[in-house]
Amino acid sequence: MNSSPTIPDRKKNRIKGYAVIIGILTLILQHAFYLAGHYLASWFGIPPFSPKIPLDDFFPIISIFILPYVWSYAYWAMGPMVVSKCEKQHFADYMAANLFACIIGMLLLAFFPTYMDRVAEGLFEETANQGFFSFDWLRKFWYSLDGSETAYNLLPSFHCINSTLCFLGVMGRKEISKGYRVYSLLLSLLIFASTLYVKQHYFLDVIAGVVLAIPIYFLCKKFHLGRIWAPVERAYARWQENRQAKSAEKKEK
């Protein structure tokens, strides 16, 4: 007969408080690395190229895909929060993979800059389906936030890097509910598709993002590269001890 989880087990298998802050900081840093790629490319004076291939013309504009594209930002912030339910070593390796993937992705964007001419692609033309729920307005609004007529930082797709890592972090983990693992897989696939159907990326950008994220994740797991966070963990532990000591002193007074 299966017994219900004990209170200590429930406390262990929950989102850690520190992971909420780390999740928000991770989202900010991911975007900072993404932006830094274009700034560095401009500073180096490296001309961008278009990674478009003939296959890209087979992906039509489907504006409703802007919804998973935008939701991805919340998904990435939730990644560290959910993974914090696992043991510390897994969490540390997962965060190391995020860091290394962002650094390598930024360097690729900087030294092999890419662009998309949205006007030449006809992305500002009216589509057959109009109206509020066509989501054309949201797609075009998003373009205005991201280069307007010209998009940069295409290959590798950070949307695909981050989403791949979010799924890998929970894949096969018994600490995470099966429902969330299925949700993570389906959402990651939707985000991959969204980058193509809202014309934020070309096909090679998607492949590059996924191919970059997978080996980085498994290398971080194999060699436990999460140990790079050891100094941060020690500093956090000291801070907690000092806070508890001060709290105890106040109670004694």
Q: What is the pLDDT of residue 14?
A: 86
- The pLDDT mean for the chain works out to 91
- Distance of alpha carbon 67 from alpha carbon 83, whole angstroms: 24
Convert the pLDDT of each residue in 33-86 to its tens digit: 999 999 999 999 999 999 999 999 999 999 999 999 999 999 999 999 999 999
In this prediction, residue 131 has a pLDDT band, given cuts at 50, 70 and 90, of low
pLDDT band per the 50, 70, 90 thresholds, residue 130: low
Band of the pLDDT at 248, cuts 50, 70, 90?
confident
Encode burial over 56-92: b for 16+ CB neighbours within 10 A, e otherwise: beebebbbbbbebbbebeebbbbbbbbbbbbeeebbb
- Give the pLDDT band (50/70/90) at residue 7: very low
pLDDT classification of 250: cutoffs 50, 70, 90: confident
Question: What is the DSSP-derived secondary structure letter of residue 47?
Answer: P
Cα–Cα distance for residue pair 112/236, rounded to 1 Å: 38
Cβ neighbour number for residue 211 with a 10 Å cutoff: 14
* Mean pLDDT in residue range 167-179: 96
Domain ranges of the chain: 7-252
Measured CA to CA, the distance from residue 31 to residue 167 in angstroms comes to 19
What's the rounded Cα separation, in Å, for the pair 15 and 80? Answer: 9
